[in-house]
Structure 1
């Protein structure tokens, strides 16, 4: 209890709280700007933390990352442009709600369940950090292969109502992920002798192109200069929170659990957590036909998941010094720099610092409510701007974001190319979300498959020899076979009984 009291004294100081407030504003700005990711926000803060004490530095990192992940939902809902990759999974759904005049309902759900998801991830971090970290360390290339393959399978469920078109989109993404030298053999693939392509296709410019540039092209082709965008409902962001929580608490809890588990796996993170949770939500929903038309159910589960993943990613980072995602990879460097070396000894020698991190996580997610409310209220004015003015401004932001990834014009070229591709795909009824998923997970599947085959000396049975790998493998195969199993089950149920009647 003495350590907890010391932790409160470390956190509840004017300098720590002031830094957290400033980091909140900075995280909201970066997260809401297309192309500027939460990881980039953290990286930009690192030089500033050189001049801070350890606790304010960690407070800035935690608060900034939490705000950035949530802020990515705002342009996703208002403009169909995910501010961060973690918001890409449900950008179409959120934008459909805006088109239906339900933007405040969707953004209110994003805000409320983002905060709840962050608090859940923090609770798991506090209670089960050592156990979860130990489980995460048992994941080898075999488990990661099945996990990535299961994630790719989600692309088919995300792919609207036509599984064939969903597969086409997924294969386009997988093809893009093979470009460059980023493969286990280090062999140039599909580079056509271009030096820029040897580095592969960057995910961020591709995502901006698929979602934002294609939307700009659609506006130009449709010539909707004078067409208005539905305005936000003149209501409170808070008025539906009670109803949504009562109605969708199972989805919220499921998203929290999935997000925390995936976040705790080194190298996974909030992006994958959101995709998996959205697909799970659609797969087990009682009304899957509503997904894609502006249905809040999938948004609630996904936004709960990606925010819970933040807390989960800190589990292996604090317990073993192994980053759970790209954000904690940067944070671990700051921890070492400040003398807060992560590892089991930190829990024994400096428990007050660990408790201070826990308190900072709780405060950061509580701060999300007022700061998120202010950000949404300010951002909704975007919808009042005429589209013939708004679209060029969006395109300028997209160019800046694509260029900022590597400070290269090539990123802008990639963005424009994928914008045209996304426009063509959607004009032909092919969803872009599975393609994004293919780009994210394609290299992960290939690398872990090749590594596992080398370990197993080419024996495919090794993919089922480890308990966790076997469980994930069987689950993935059952998901693949589920349409056939359901078909056979229904056919058996409708088979005629002796005497000419059929089963009820």
Structure 2
């Protein structure tokens, strides 16, 4: 009880509340502009969090992410353009509801279901994360090695239609993670005589480059040419929402739980949770033929799942230090910059901070209602921001943020170079998620593998001696087998279609 009271005191300090409010408004702005994602909003906040204490820093990212996901529903419903990837699953349904004169109801359902789904995810996070942490205290370097490797493997498996490209992206991330001095042997690697690289590549320019700069490069042709048509007026945004939510209450509960579980899978994230929940809802529906015509049932399911997935992604991040998605990868980077290493020990050494994070989640989800309504009402003004003004300001903010981390111009060049690399990868359908997960998890895999090998005098089979390690190792090997089979099948189908043509 004393820890809970201390956590409440930390969250309801004026500076933390001010950060939550400011980050929420920032997330609403970014999410409501088509093309600017929740991940980009998070990456842009990283330079600001560099100057904050741990709780305000995490609060800013949690609030901005939740708001950006919800705000991404607005251009989807008004313009048929999803604001974020997590909104893409139900953009068609929301837009068609608007064409039927139910635009206010569509946005009201999005908002209300996002709040409920987010609260379901927080409840599961608060209840299960400490239990999993107690279990994880028995882990040794063997289990952590397999767990981190399993996280990388799952990220490749769910990264897209071509697992081979996901694996290549992951290997590039591992190469970035290897730059600098080996933490176990002290061997210097890939520094090319540059002393600033001895401690490795800082996470801050990597995050900003891979997400913000790469996205800006993709959007560069739009500068000065992007013009969105005036959206229709939004009237009575909560009309009939209570009836729809009661009618589909089972779907909301199912999607909230499913979204949390999918979010907890490394590399999955809110967009995958939305698509799977939408597909499952259609399969279980009594009226599947109505889907794709402006039917609210799929809208209810998918919008409940995406915010629940945000909370679920924090379970492996807080318990094991393994990102559930790219946003929690950024969170882990921020915590590490603050001298806090996520893992089971954080629930005992920083229990008050963990409880405060749970409270921030609840507060951020409750704030979705008033601020989300404000965003719906002001959608016309948000969509009127010209790209020729917005994008150069974002680039300037990226450069300042990358330089401020270490007062190093090298970080700025690294940010720009990685942004250019990420741009070419995305343009050729290579996913970025596995790369950033590899940058975070690469040192975890390497250091724990080296510790296990030192203890076992190089005997690889020792990694399978402990029951939990053997189970995790078996799962990791099965995932890699699935990746190989999927790649071979994809290559065979491509060759067969080319032959038949």
Does the pair score TM above 0.5? Answer: yes
- Counterpart position of 2:258: 254
In 2: Cα distance, 1:286 partner to 1:465 partner: 41
In 2: Cα distance, 1:200 partner to 1:477 partner: 29
In 2: Cα distance, 1:202 partner to 1:9 partner: 33
* Deviation (angstroms), 1:34: 5.1
In 1: Cα distance, 2:462 partner to 2:216 partner: 48
Q: How has the CA–CA distance of structure 1 residues 487 and 38 changed in structure 2, closer, same or farther, with 3 Å as cutoff?
A: closer
Match of residue 267, structure 2, among 262, 275, 291: 275
- Counterpart position of 2:203: 203
Q: Deviations over 1:330-384 (max 9, x none)?
A: 9999xxxxxxx9859x99xxxxx99999777645542343345546766874432
Q: Deviations over 1:450-483 (max 9, x none)?
A: 1222222222222222222222111122222236
Q: SS of 1:199's equivalent?
A: coil
- Counterpart position of 1:304: 308
- 1:425-504 aligned within 5 A: 425-482=425-482
In 1: Cα distance, 2:249 partner to 2:229 partner: 26
* Deviation (angstroms), 1:169: 1.6
* Deviation (angstroms), 1:116: 3.6
Q: Deviations over 1:136-167 (max 9, x none)?
A: 21122212211111111123234321222222
Q: Deviations over 1:65-113 (max 9, x none)?
A: 642442565798999xxxxxxxxxx997248679989799899858854
Q: SS of 1:422's equivalent?
A: helix
In 2: Cα distance, 1:487 partner to 1:314 partner: 32
Structure 1 contact 98–230 (Cα < 8 Å) conserved: no
Q: SS of 1:204's equivalent?
A: helix
Q: How has the CA–CA distance of structure 1 residues 407 and 286 changed in structure 2, closer, same or farther, with 3 Å as cutoff?
A: same
- Counterpart position of 2:85: 93
2:52 paired with 1:44: yes
2:66 paired with 1:70: yes
- Counterpart position of 2:328: none
- Counterpart position of 2:78: none
- Counterpart position of 1:49: none
Q: Which runs of 5+ in 2 are unaligned?
A: 31-40, 76-81, 96-102, 281-297, 322-330, 341-345, 490-501
* Deviation (angstroms), 1:217: 2.5
Q: How has the CA–CA distance of structure 1 residues 475 and 376 changed in structure 2, closer, same or farther, with 3 Å as cutoff?
A: farther
Q: How has the CA–CA distance of structure 1 residues 392 and 16 changed in structure 2, closer, same or farther, with 3 Å as cutoff?
A: closer
- Counterpart position of 2:181: 181
In 2: Cα distance, 1:195 partner to 1:75 partner: 43
Structure 1 contact 205–415 (Cα < 8 Å) conserved: yes
- Counterpart position of 1:225: 224
In 2: Cα distance, 1:9 partner to 1:168 partner: 46
- Counterpart position of 2:288: none
Q: TM-score w.r.t. structure 1 length?
A: 0.64
Q: How has the CA–CA distance of structure 1 residues 211 and 312 changed in structure 2, closer, same or farther, with 3 Å as cutoff?
A: closer
* Deviation (angstroms), 1:329: 8.1
- Counterpart position of 2:138: 138
In 2: Cα distance, 1:244 partner to 1:410 partner: 53
Q: Which moved more, 1:414-423 or 1:366-375?
A: 366-375
Q: Which moved more, 1:155-164 or 1:188-197?
A: 155-164
Q: Deviations over 1:297-330 (max 9, x none)?
A: 888656423324558877899xxxxxx9677789
Structure 1 contact 182–199 (Cα < 8 Å) conserved: no
In 1: Cα distance, 2:475 partner to 2:469 partner: 10
Cα RMSD for the two superposed structures: 5.4
2:417 paired with 1:413: no
- Counterpart position of 2:343: none
2:159 paired with 1:159: yes
In 2: Cα distance, 1:10 partner to 1:178 partner: 37
Q: Which runs of 5+ in 1 are unaligned?
A: 47-57, 80-89, 263-272, 289-294, 318-323, 334-340, 348-352, 490-504
In 1: Cα distance, 2:219 partner to 2:47 partner: 31
Q: SS of 2:267's equivalent?
A: helix
Q: SS of 1:275's equivalent?
A: coil
- 1:262-341 aligned within 5 A: 275-277=267-269, 281=273, 301=305, 303-308=307-312
In 1: Cα distance, 2:162 partner to 2:488 partner: 20
Structure 2 contact 120–257 (Cα < 8 Å) conserved: no
- Counterpart position of 2:492: none
